[in-house]
Structures are given as structure tokens and as C-alpha cells.
Amino acid sequence: MSPPTFSQPERRNFLAPALIVAAIVAAAFTLIYLFLPRRDADVEVTHVSVMPEHITFSSAEPANGPHVVGDKGSTEDDLYILATVRVRDNLKIPLFVKDLTGTLTTSDSTDVTVSAVEKNDLNDVYQAFPSIKSASGPPLLREIEIAPGATAEGVVMLHYSATEDDWKQRKSASVTLDFYHQDPITVPIPQS
């Protein structure tokens, strides 16, 4: 019988393969960081026009009925915000705008969110308030396609039941663009 031996096989050094794997992973992350955009789109509000409207309604008198005694009519304050928004597509695929909304945070921290005035309603607003038409420009519309690397710009018209003082004393305001295949992007409307 031969004497027992306690020799062990030669140990392998895994340092070189580990360094090669680490270098490949670092190169992959560097390429991802350099070539993939950090944001789907760059969105900014380039100009804001504030159009307050004070409306006085005459007393309601039915066509075939009596006049209501003491009815002196009513008033309403409306505020139209015309925010010019510029969107640049940073992706290699087109962006499709699904919806446009605006949020006003009043001085008492109440959030009021409204949908932007629809394309079909713009002519009614312009007819009722000609001053808004002269201050407005081409609209940024829902359902538009922004090509890869391209820029779209237009006016987003927001209608709030508020006064100009409410707007001036606001805590914040923002515009949100909701896209079909990407996350929504919210940008602040600057205080002016």
C-alpha cells in the first residue's frame, strides 16, 4: 500500500477572466450612456400670454314666460392661458401626442387641472373673444406625429374659471404632454 498523499490539484487564477468580463460590462454601459437619450423629448414653454375675460350675462327672460323679478344677470371670470410649447423628439422613433393638459396650483394649494382647448373649439373661442385670436398662434395639436430628431412648436390654450389675480398669486402652473408610447412630460409655466 502506498502512503497517503495530501496534494491538491493546482489552483486556477480567475483574475484575468474576471477583468475581461468587467471590461466588457463597463464598455456596454458606456455605449448605452453615450448613445441612448436620457429623455424621450425636450419640452419647454417659450412664451406665455395671459388673457383674462370678464363676461356679464343679461338677465334670463324666457321667450314665452314671465320675467323673474330681481334677476339682474350674472358675471363670470374666465382666464385663457396661451402657452407656446416647443417639443424636440430625442428618440430614433416618432413621438405621438395623445393629450395636452394644464395644472394651476392656486395660492391656497388647490390643484385645478384642465384639458387644452380642442382644435374643433378654437374657432368658437376666437369668435367669442377676438383679442384671443390676435394673441394666439398656430396650435400644438393632439394626435400629431413628431419625427425622430424633429421639433414641433405651437400654442396650447388652457381655459380656467379664474381671475387674473388668481393667476398672479398662483403657487405654480404647468403643462403636461401625454404621449402614446412614452411617459408623460410635465413642464412648468414660468412666473412672469
- Average pLDDT value for residue range 166-189: 93
Average confidence score pLDDT of the chain: 85
pLDDT at 91: 85
Residue bearing the bigger pLDDT, 192 or 68: 192
Ordered by start, the domain boundaries in the chain are 41-57+74-188
- pLDDT band at residue 51 using 50, 70 and 90 as cut-offs: confident
- Average pLDDT value for residue range 54-58: 62
Is residue 86 predicted with pLDDT exceeding 60?
A: yes
Q: Which helix (H) or strand (E) holds 41?
A: strand 41-57
- Average pLDDT value for residue range 37-60: 77
pLDDT at 168: 92
Residue bearing the bigger pLDDT, 139 or 6: 139
CA distances for 187 relative to 48, 90, 169, angstroms: 13, 16, 19
CATH of domain 41-57+74-188: 2.60.40
Model-wide pTM > 0.75: no
- pLDDT band at residue 156 using 50, 70 and 90 as cut-offs: very high
DSSP state string for 83-147: EEEEEEE-SSS-EEEEEEEEEEE-TTS-EEEEEPPPHHHHHHHHHH-HHHHHH--SB--TT-EE-
Provide, rounded to the nearest whole percent, the portion of the chain with pLDDT above 90: 50
